[in-house]
C-alpha cells in the first residue's frame, strides 16, 4: 500500500493553512489497472498501467481552488498548493456566495476491500484462455444466425488513497476491483442484427469472475438474440398496457431518475452547464413522487459492491441514504458544501475519480428496495402487457424527468403468461409516471455495474445500480421503427 | 535533446534492453487550468500539471502496453520489466504489425499562442470578461467553463523516430438560463481571442432569452435544422464509426460498407483535419510517428476513407492514414464542409419544423443499424412557413444515422468551432437542414 505519501499529504495541508487558506485538503490517489482485450477469441493486447498523484483543495476568501500534480516530491506538491491558493484568491472577488463547509465528525481510519481470490494471482494465460473459451461457446451457440463479433476484455484495478484535511480527517483506503466487458453482435443478414453491450464489475477479487459465469450464460443469451431477430414482433403500441420492468432496467432507472436528481450540487445548479440541473428543487423534500412501493436507497457500504467505500473523500463516514422513501422525496446526496447550504449534515457523497479530479457528489450503489412478490406473481397479475428484461438504448433529459429505455429482450404477456418475443419496445415516460405507476416489486435484488459520468473534466466513477423486477400499470409503449 | 525526448529515449532503451523487439513511447507534459462557473460566479478554479508516458511494446508479435507518470522512472522500468516477463504467456496479437519506418513530418505552424499561456498563469481577467458578456443580456443566470492548456509531446520509437510538438488550446462553453429557456454555445480553438470568448457567452444568453417562453410540440416527423453543436455531437459518432477499430469491434454503421459506397447526401463532406492548426486536436504526427494529413471520411456523400494506424491497415490490406493512437486509430479533428445557405435562408426552406440548438445523451440501440435517440437541451425553435414563431419544450430526436445522413437538404455557409462535453473531438461545423427527422417524447 502507498502510505509512504502520507507525510506529503499532511505537509500539503499544513502548508496551505500557513499561506492563509481557510480550509485545506490533500489526497494522494493511485489507480493501477491491468487487463487483456480479445476479439472473437483472439488476443489483441495486454495493458498494465497506473496513475498517481496528489490533489489539493483550498478555500480562500470563499473561493475554491483545486490543483493536481503527479510530481510526488515536496517541490511538486508545494507548487500545486501554491497554484490552488493563488487561483482561488484571484477569484475570490467574483464570489457572491462565499463557499463554506459543514461541521462534521470526520474519520481517522484505514480500511480495505478484501479479495477472496487475488486477481493478480490468476495467470494471464488463464484470463486469455477464458475469453477464447467464451468465444468458442458463443460462436457455436446459434443455428441460423451468425455471431459476427464478440469483443471482450477482462480487467482488474486497485485504488489507493490517503485523504487528509485541515478539519482533522485522515483516511487511508485500498479498494481492488475486477471487471468484464463485452460487446456481442448477432446477425441474420437478410433480417437484421441484435447488439448487446454489457459489463460486470465489483470490488474484491477474481471470485467475482467465477460468480458472473459469462461462459455459462452468454451462449444462451446469444440464442435468445437469434430468436429476437427471427421471431420477435412489434410490441403493442395502440393502447396503454401493463409493463413488467426487469431489474436491469429498474437499476438504471433509479440511478438516472432518483440518484442523479437527488444530488444536492445538481439541485443547487453547480453542474448546470454539464450534466444539468434537477427537477427536484431545494424545498421539495417531503413531496410525493411515487407510490408507497417506491423506496430507493444509495448505500456505499455494501461489501463487494463496485461503488464501495467507508469514508468519502472529505473524510465523512459513509452510510445508506434513503433518497425516495415509500414514494416520498426523502434525502439528498450531500457533500460538506451542500450540507452547509441546506443547513444539514453531509452524508458522505464526495468522491473523486483520481488524483486529477476534485471530489464532487456521486452515487455509490443505488437500488430500488425489493418487495414481497415473485417474478411469476408479477406476470400472473398482468392480463395484457409486456415484460422488458434488458435494454440497449437509454437516455434522460438534463433535469432527470423524461426518460427513455429501448428494450432488447422483451416478451408479450397475455392472461398472466409470457408469450412471444417483441422487438424494440420503448419505455418513454416521466420520472413521476414511473414511480407512481409501480404497484408491485418482486423479492429479487440484482445489481448491475456502471461507470457514472459527471463533472468537468468528466469523472467516471464505479457504481452499482439495481433492484427487483417491478410492475407498472397502464403504460403507453413506443417502438423503435 | 529536450527533457521529454530524453524520457522517451530512456524508456525505449530500457524496453529494448529488457528484450522487447519494438517500442514506441509517447511522453506528454500538460499544464492546464479551468475556471468553472455556476449561478453566475466561479464554482471552482482547477489547475493541473502532469507528465505521463504511454508505452507500446512488442515482441514475437505480442502486443503489450503501459501508461505511467514519469516524475520518477523507476516504477516505469519496473512495469516494463514485468510486462516483458508476461509477453511469452500471451498469444500473438491479431492486430500486430511492425511499427512504421520513420518519416519526416512537416511541422505544423501556429499550434502555440503565447497569450493562452499567459491566461494559464493569470485567468482572472478572462473570468471577469465571461461574466460580463453573459450577463449583458436579459438572463437569470449562467453556468459553464473555460479551460486553457499548454501541452508538449514527444514521440520516440525503436525505428528511430524522435519527434516533438507543442500546442496550446482553449475549450469553453457557457449555458445561460432565462425563464423557461436556456441556451448553450461552445468553442474550441488553439488561439486566444477575447471577442470569440465573449461571443460564446453572448450566443448562449441570446438563445436563452429567445426560448424563455415554451410550448409543447407533438412528436412526429419534422424538418429539423441542427446547430453546429448538434451536428458536432452526431458527426463525432459517425467519424468514430469510420475508425477501423470501431468496424472490427462491431460498433459502426460502416461494418458492411467499403470506401466508394454512397452513405450520405451528395452535399455532405466530413474531413478528418489534423492539419488544421486552428482546431484543438491538430497535430503533425500520429502516435506511431506517421505524418498526419487531412482526408475526407465522407466526400460528397461517398464513404471515402476508413481511418487506420499501421496495425488496422495491415488487417484491412490498407495503408495507415496517420490516425494512430498507440493501439487503436483515432479521429484528430473534424471539419464539415460548408454549403451555400445562411441560417435565415435555411429557415425559409422549412414549412413546419424545428431548429435544435443543443443536445445531449445520444445513445444507440444498435451501432450497426445506427438506430439512436438523443435529447434536446436548450433552445428548440419552432419554425412555421419559413419563420421562427416560438420555442418548444424538450423532446428527442429518435432516428437512424444512415437515414439522417441521406436526408440532408441544405448546409449552412457559416462554420463554428465546437468543443465541449458532448463534442469531444473538436469540430468545425455549419448548421444543417435534415428532412423528415423522427422525434419522440414521453408518453405520460
Convert the pLDDT of each residue in A382-411 to its tens digit. 999 999 999 999 999 999 999 999 999 999
Nearest to B377 among A124, A195, A276 (CB): A276
A52 touches chain B (CB under 8 A): yes
Q: Which domains does chain A have, with CATH numbers?
A: 3-231 (3.30.2290.10), 241-479 (no CATH)
Contact across the interface for B50 and A68, Cβ inside 8 Å: yes
Phi-psi region of B19 (alpha: psi -120 to 50; beta: other; left: phi over 0): left
Q: Tell me the average pLDDT of chain B.
A: 97
Interface test with B, best of A395, A407, A430 (most B CBs within 10 A): A395
Assess whether pLDDT exceeds 60 at residue A30. yes
Nearest to B63 among A45, A67, A183 (CB): A45
Same domain membership, residue B331 and residue B248: yes
Average pLDDT over residues A175-181: 98
Number of domains in chain B: 2
Contact across the interface for A392 and B442, Cβ inside 8 Å: no
A72 touches chain B (CB under 8 A): yes
Same domain membership, residue B333 and residue B206: no
Assess whether pLDDT exceeds 70 at residue A1. no
Contact across the interface for A44 and B184, Cβ inside 8 Å: no
Closest residue of A to B367, CA-based? Answer: A195
Assess whether pLDDT exceeds 60 at residue A257. yes
Nearest to A63 among B42, B68, B142 (CB): B42
Closest residue of B to A91, CA-based? Answer: B124
Nearest to A125 among B89, B147, B255 (CB): B89
A403 touches chain B (CB under 8 A): yes
Same domain membership, residue B380 and residue B247: yes
- The model's pLDDT over B332-353, given as tens digits with 9 standing for 90+, comes to 999 999 999 999 999 999 999 9
Closest residue of A to B66, CA-based? Answer: A49
Assess whether pLDDT exceeds 70 at residue A3. no
Same domain membership, residue B382 and residue B241: yes
- pLDDT-derived band at B326, boundaries 50, 70, 90: confident
Cell of B388: 421562427
- The model's pLDDT over A83-118, given as tens digits with 9 standing for 90+, comes to 999 999 999 999 999 999 999 999 999 999 999 999
Its domain, for residue B86, covers 3-210
Last residue of a domain, one of B161, B183, B210: B210
Nearest to B365 among A72, A392, A475 (CB): A392
Assess whether pLDDT exceeds 90 at residue A4. no
- The model's pLDDT over B94-113, given as tens digits with 9 standing for 90+, comes to 999 999 999 999 999 999 99
pLDDT score recorded for residue A64: 97
Interface of B with A in 63-92 (CB under 8 A): 63-69, 71-72, 75, 79, 82-83, 86, 89-92
Last residue of a domain, one of B151, B180, B210: B210
pLDDT score recorded for residue A2: 58
Whether B135 is covered by a domain: the verdict is yes
Same domain membership, residue B245 and residue B191: no
Cell of A127: 484470463
Same domain membership, residue B396 and residue B303: yes
Closest residue of B to A395, CA-based? Answer: B361
Assess whether pLDDT exceeds 70 at residue A275. yes
Q: What is the CATH number of the domain that holds B144?
A: 3.30.2290.10
- The model's pLDDT over B140-187, given as tens digits with 9 standing for 90+, comes to 999 999 999 999 999 999 999 999 999 999 999 999 999 999 999 999
Interface of A with B in 19-48 (CB under 8 A): 36, 39, 42-48
Whether B216 is covered by a domain: the verdict is no
Average pLDDT over residues B292-320: 97
pLDDT score recorded for residue A387: 98
Same domain membership, residue B395 and residue B301: yes
Contact across the interface for A80 and B49, Cβ inside 8 Å: yes
Whether B65 is covered by a domain: the verdict is yes
A288 touches chain B (CB under 8 A): no
Last residue of a domain, one of B180, B210, B240: B210
Same domain membership, residue B420 and residue B365: yes
Nearest to A406 among B52, B67, B365 (CB): B365
- Among residues of chain A, what percentage have pLDDT more than 90? 99
Average pLDDT over residues A23-43: 98
Nearest to B124 among A90, A274, A402 (CB): A90
Helical pair A214-231 and A124-139, crossing angle rounded to 10 deg: 30
Nearest to B45 among A63, A73, A270 (CB): A63
Residues in B closer than 8 angstroms to A151, CB to CB, are 249-250
Interface test with A, best of B3, B42, B217 (most A CBs within 10 A): B42
Whether B215 is covered by a domain: the verdict is no
pLDDT score recorded for residue B71: 87
Contact across the interface for B67 and A53, Cβ inside 8 Å: no
pLDDT score recorded for residue B96: 97
Same domain membership, residue B379 and residue B312: yes
Interface test with A, best of B82, B365, B440 (most A CBs within 10 A): B365
Contact across the interface for A395 and B444, Cβ inside 8 Å: no
Nearest to A43 among B90, B327, B398 (CB): B90
Assess whether pLDDT exceeds 90 at residue B72. no
Same domain membership, residue B201 and residue B348: no
Residues in B closer than 8 angstroms to A129, CB to CB, are none
Closest residue of B to A196, CA-based? Answer: B366
Closest residue of B to A39, CA-based? Answer: B249
Interface of B with A in 310-329 (CB under 8 A): 327
Residues in B closer than 8 angstroms to A63, CB to CB, are 42, 45
pLDDT score recorded for residue B234: 98
Contact across the interface for B89 and A123, Cβ inside 8 Å: yes
Three-state secondary structure string covering chain A: CCHHHHHHHHHHHHHHHHHCCCEEEEEEEEEEEEEEEEECCEEEEEEEEEEEEEEEEEEECCEEEEEEECCCCHHHHHHHHHHHHHHHHHHHHHCCCCCCCCCCCCCEEEEECCCCCCHHHCCHHHHHHHHHHHHHHHHCCCCCCEEEEEEEEEEEEEEEEEEEECCCCEEEEEEEEEEEEEEEEEEECCCEEEEEEEEEEEECCCHHHHHHCHHHHHHHHHHHHHHHHHHCECCCCCCCEEEEECHHHHHHHHHHHHHHHHEHHHHCCCCCCCCCCCCCCCCCCCCECCCCCCCEEECCCCCCCCCCCCECCCCCECCCEEEEECCEECCCECCHHHHHHHCCCCCCCEECCCCCCCCEECCCEEEECCCCECHHHHHHCCCEEEEECCEEEEEECCCCCEEEEEECCEEEEECCEEEEEECCEEEEEEHHHHHHHEEEEECCCEEEEEEEEECCCCEEEEEEEEECCEEEEEECCEECC
Same domain membership, residue B301 and residue B203: no
Cell of B366: 444498435
Cell of B397: 430526436
Q: How many CB pairs under 8 A join A and B?
A: 273
Nearest to A72 among B71, B394, B444 (CB): B71
Same domain membership, residue B368 and residue B289: yes
Amino acid at each position: 500500500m502507498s502510505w509512504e505519501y502520507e507525510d506529503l499529504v499532511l505537509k500539503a495541508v499544513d502548508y496551505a493553512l500557513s499561506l492563509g487558506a481557510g480550509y485545506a485538503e490533500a489526497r494522494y490517489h493511485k489507480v493501477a489497472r491491468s487487463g487483456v482485450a480479445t476479439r472473437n477469441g483472439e488476443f489483441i493486447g495486454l495493458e498494465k498501467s497506473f496513475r498517481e498523484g496528489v490533489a489539493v483543495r483550498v478555500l480562500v476568501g470563499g473561493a475554491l481552488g483545486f490543483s493536481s500534480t503527479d510530481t510526488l516530491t515536496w517541490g511538486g506538491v508545494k507548487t500545486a498548493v501554491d497554484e490552488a491558493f493563488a487561483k482561488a484568491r484571484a477569484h475570490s472577488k467574483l464570489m457572491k456566495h462565499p463557499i463554506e463547509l459543514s461541521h462534521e465528525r470526520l474519520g481517522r481510519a484505514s480500511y480495505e476491500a478484501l479479495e477472496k481470490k487475488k486477481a493478480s494471482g490468476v495467470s494471464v494465460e488463464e484470463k486469455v484462455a477464458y475469453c477464447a473459451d467464451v468465444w468458442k461457446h458463443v460462436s457455436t451457440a446459434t443455428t441460423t444466425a451468425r455471431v459476427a463479433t464478440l469483443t471482450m476484455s477482462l480487467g482488474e484495478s486497485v485504488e489507493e488513497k490517503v485523504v487528509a484535511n485541515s478539519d482533522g480527517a485522515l483516511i487511508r483506503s485500498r479498494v481492488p476491483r475486477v471487471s468484464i466487458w463485452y460487446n456481442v453482435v448477432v446477425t441474420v443478414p437478410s433480417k437484421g442484427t441484435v447488439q448487446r453491450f454489457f459489463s460486470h464489475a465489483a470490488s474484491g477479487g477474481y471470485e467475482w469472475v467465477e460468480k458472473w459465469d459469462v461462459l455459462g450464460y452468454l451462449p444462451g443469451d446469444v440464442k435468445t438474440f437469434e430468436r429476437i431477430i427471427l421471431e420477435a414482433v412489434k410490441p403493442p403500441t395502440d393502447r396503454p398496457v401493463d409493463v413488467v420492468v426487469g431489474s436491469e432496467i429498474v437499476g438504471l432507472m433509479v440511478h438516472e431518475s432518483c440518484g442523479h436528481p437527488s444530488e444536492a450540487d445538481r439541485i443547487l445548479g453547480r453542474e448546470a452547464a454539464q450534466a444539468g440541473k434537477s427537477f427536484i428543487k431545494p424545498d421539495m423534500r417531503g413531496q410525493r413522487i411515487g407510490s408507497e412501493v417506491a423506496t430507493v436507497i444509495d448505500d456505499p457500504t455494501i461489501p463487494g459492491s463496485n461503488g464501495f467505500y467507508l469514508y468519502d473523500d472529505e473524510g465523512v463516514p459513509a452510510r445508506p441514504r434513503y433518497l425516495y422513501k415509500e414514494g416520498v422525496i426523502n434525502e439528498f446526496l450531500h457533500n460538506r458544501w451542500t450540507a452547509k447550504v441546506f443547513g444539514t449534515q453531509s452524508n458522505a457523497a464526495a468522491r473523486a475519480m483520481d488524483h486529477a479530479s476534485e471530489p464532487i457528489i456521486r452515487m455509490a450503489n443505488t437500488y430500488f428496495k425489493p418487495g414481497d412478490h415473485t417474478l411469476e406473481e408479477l406476470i400472473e397479475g398482468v392480463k395484457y402487457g409486456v415484460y422488458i428484461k434488458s435494454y440497449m438504448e437509454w437516455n434522460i433529459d438534463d433535469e432527470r424527468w423524461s426518460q427513455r429505455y429501448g428494450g432488447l429482450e422483451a416478451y408479450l404477456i397475455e392472461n398472466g403468461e409470457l408469450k412471444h418475443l417483441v422487438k424494440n419496445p420503448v419505455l418513454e415516460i416521466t420520472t413521476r409516471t414511473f414511480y407512481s405507476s409501480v404497484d408491485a416489486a418482486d423479492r429479487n435484488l440484482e445489481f448491475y455495474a456502471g461507470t457514472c459520468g459527471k463533472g468537468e473534466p468528466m469523472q467516471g466513477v464505479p457504481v452499482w445500480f439495481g433492484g427487483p423486477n417491478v410492475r407498472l400499470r397502464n403504460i403507453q409503449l413506443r417502438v423503435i421503427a | 535533446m529536450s527533457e521529454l525526448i530524453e524520457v522517451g529515449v530512456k524508456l525505449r532503451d530500457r524496453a529494448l534492453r529488457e528484450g522487447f523487439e519494438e517500442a514506441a513511447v509517447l511522453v506528454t507534459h500538460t499544464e492546464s487550468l479551468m475556471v468553472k462557473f455556476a449561478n453566475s460566479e466561479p464554482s471552482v478554479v482547477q489547475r493541473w500539471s502532469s507528465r505521463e508516458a504511454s508505452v507500446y511494446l512488442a515482441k514475437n508479435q505480442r502486443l503489450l502496453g503501459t501508461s505511467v507518470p514519469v516524475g520518477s522512472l523507476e516504477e516505469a522500468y519496473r512495469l516494463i520489466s514485468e510486462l516483458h516477463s508476461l509477453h511469452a504467456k500471451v498469444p500473438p496479437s491479431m492486430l500486430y504489425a511492425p511499427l512504421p519506418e520513420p518519416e519526416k513530418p512537416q511541422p505544423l505552424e501556429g499550434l502555440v499562442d503565447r497569450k493562452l499561456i499567459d491566461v494559464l498563469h493569470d485567468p482572472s481577467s478572462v473570468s471577469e470578461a465571461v461574466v460580463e458578456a453573459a450577463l449583458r443580456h436579459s438572463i437569470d443566470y449562467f453556468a459553464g467553463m473555460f479551460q486553457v492548456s499548454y501541452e508538449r509531446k514527444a514521440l520516440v520509437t525503436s525505428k528511430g523516430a524522435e519527434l516533438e510538438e507543442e500546442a496550446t488550446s482553449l475549450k469553453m462553453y457557457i449555458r445561460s438560463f432565462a425563464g423557461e429557456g436556456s441556451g448553450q454555445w461552445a468553442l474550441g480553438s488553439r488561439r486566444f481571442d477575447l471577442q470569440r470568448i465573449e461571443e460564446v457567452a453572448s450566443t448562449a444568453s441570446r438563445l436563452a432569452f429567445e426560448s424563455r417562453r415554451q410550448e409543447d410540440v407533438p412528436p412526429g416527423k419534422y424538418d429539423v435544422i441542427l446547430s453546429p453543436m448538434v451536428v458536432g455531437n452526431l458527426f463525432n459518432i459517425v467519424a468514430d464509426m469510420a475508425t477501423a477499430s470501431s468496424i472490427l469491434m462491431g460498433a459502426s454503421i460502416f461494418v458492411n460498407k467499403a470506401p466508394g459506397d454512397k452513405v450520405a447526401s451528395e452535399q455532405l463532406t466530413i474531413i478528418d483535419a489534423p492539419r488544421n492548426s486552428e482546431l484543438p486536436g491538430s497535430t503533425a504526427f500520429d502516435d506511431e510517428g506517421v505524418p498526419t494529413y487531412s482526408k475526407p471520411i465522407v466526400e460528397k456523400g461517398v464513404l471515402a476513407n476508413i481511418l487506420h494506424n499501421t496495425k488496422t491497415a495491415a488487417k484491412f490490406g490498407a495503408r495507415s492514414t496517420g490516425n494512430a493512437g498507440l493501439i487503436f486509430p483515432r479521429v484528430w479533428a473534424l471539419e464539415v464542409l460548408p454549403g451555400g445557405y445562411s441560417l435565415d435562408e435555411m429557415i425559409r426552406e422549412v414549412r413546419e419544423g424545428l431548429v435544435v440548438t443543443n443536445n445531449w445523451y445520444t445513445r444507440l440501440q444498435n451501432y450497426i443499424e445506427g438506430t439512436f435517440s438523443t435529447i434536446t437541451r436548450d433552445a428548440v425553435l419552432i419554425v412555421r412557413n419559413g419563420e421562427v414563431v416560438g420555442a418548444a419544450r424538450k423532446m428527442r430526436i429518435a432516428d437512424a444515422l444512415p437515414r439522417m445522413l441521406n436526408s440532408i437538404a441544405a448546409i449552412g455557409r457559416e462554420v463554428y468551432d465546437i468543443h465541449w462535453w458532448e463534442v469531444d473531438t473538436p469540430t468545425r461545423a455549419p448548421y444543417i437542414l435534415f428532412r423528415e427527422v423522427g422525434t419522440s417524447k414521453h408518453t405520460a
